Amino acid sequence: MDLSSLLGMLLAIVSISVGDILEGGNPIHLIHISSVIIIIPTTLFSAMTGTHMHYIKAGFKELKIVFLGAKTNLNKTIHDLVEFASLARRDGVLALEAKVAQVEDDFMRDALSMIIDGKDSKTVREDIEIQIEQLEEYYHGAAHYWLVAGESAPTFGLVGAVMGLMLALQKLDNPAEMAAGIAGAFTATVTGIMCAYAIFGPWGNKLKANSHDIIKEKTVILEGVIGIANGDNPRNLEAKLLGFITPGHPKISQFE
């Protein structure tokens, strides 16, 4: 669970609500159904126009990463790779075949299968790097959808406000209704800006940031598999792979 996403959204709404209350306002009045209907669907549909069709579905499918995190565990991945390296160094690469069939991660299983099938390390690296590049592009495209939505929302908020003002000005003979209409019109601007900078934009940036953890895990697998193919010493391979762990996070060695 990525609590920073939930807390960030919640605290942003709370802080602006508290400020509104201190000024004598009521945050509930900022919720205007017609403004929400005009801005949010229009923004999402517009973002579809500005995003490659293959990444629109990905944008919604991978949104879970924003709130659940990448669910990667580099220490466990490194531990598994070092165990495979130890087995391959002791009994040969073909000894991995039975173990690889039990690997749950498709990416790791496919990478290990390459060296079991006799591919040289150069070919394996080239093949896996292509897969990593495509995966990185996939997550970039998914994040791009939400970033485009974030860029568009304030403009549609302005459009909603102008539409509301046009309707309000038709009620010059009724000042009370006109004032209510103007107030409602400006909620569209607030809705657009909040969607842009508190919801859609942050979703896109967080999706991109959390996807880096997934790409890093795949890179660790790549280096680990290449190390196994080259017959690297498991202790030295572990030291190399532990270098991928972000400073401040624990580095767990099975040799200590």
* pTM score: 0.86
Other C-beta atoms closer than 10 Å to the C-beta of 163 total 15
pLDDT band at 163 (very low <50, low <70, confident <90, very high): confident
Q: How far apart are CA 73 and CA 78, in angstroms?
A: 9
Q: What is the mean pLDDT of residues 237-256?
A: 87
What's the pLDDT at 171? 81
Q: What is the mean pLDDT of residues 144-165?
A: 92
Expressed in angstroms, the distance from the first to the final Cα of the chain is 30
Question: What's the per-residue H, E or C state across 78-117?
Answer: HHHHHHHHHHHHHHCHHHHHHHHCCCCCHHHHHHHHHHHC
pLDDT in tens, 29-77: 777 888 888 899 999 999 999 999 999 999 999 999 999 988 889 999 9
pLDDT band at 133 (very low <50, low <70, confident <90, very high): very high
Q: What is the mean pLDDT of residues 148-163?
A: 92
What's the pLDDT at 105? 87
pLDDT band at 193 (very low <50, low <70, confident <90, very high): very high
Task: Tell whether the model's pLDDT for residue 141 goes beyond 80.
Answer: yes
**In contact, 228 and 108? CB cutoff 8 Å:** no
CA distances in angstroms from 40 to 10, 99, 191, listed in the order given: 19, 49, 9
What's the pLDDT at 251? 87
Q: What is the mean pLDDT of residues 7-34?
A: 84
Task: Tell whether the model's pLDDT for residue 211 goes beyond 90.
Answer: yes
**Which of 97-111, 114-128, 206-220: highest mean pLDDT?**
206-220
Average pLDDT, the chain: 89
Say how far residue 149 (Cα) sits from the centre of its chain. Answer: 15
In the 8-state DSSP scheme, what is residue 1? -
What's the pLDDT at 32? 80
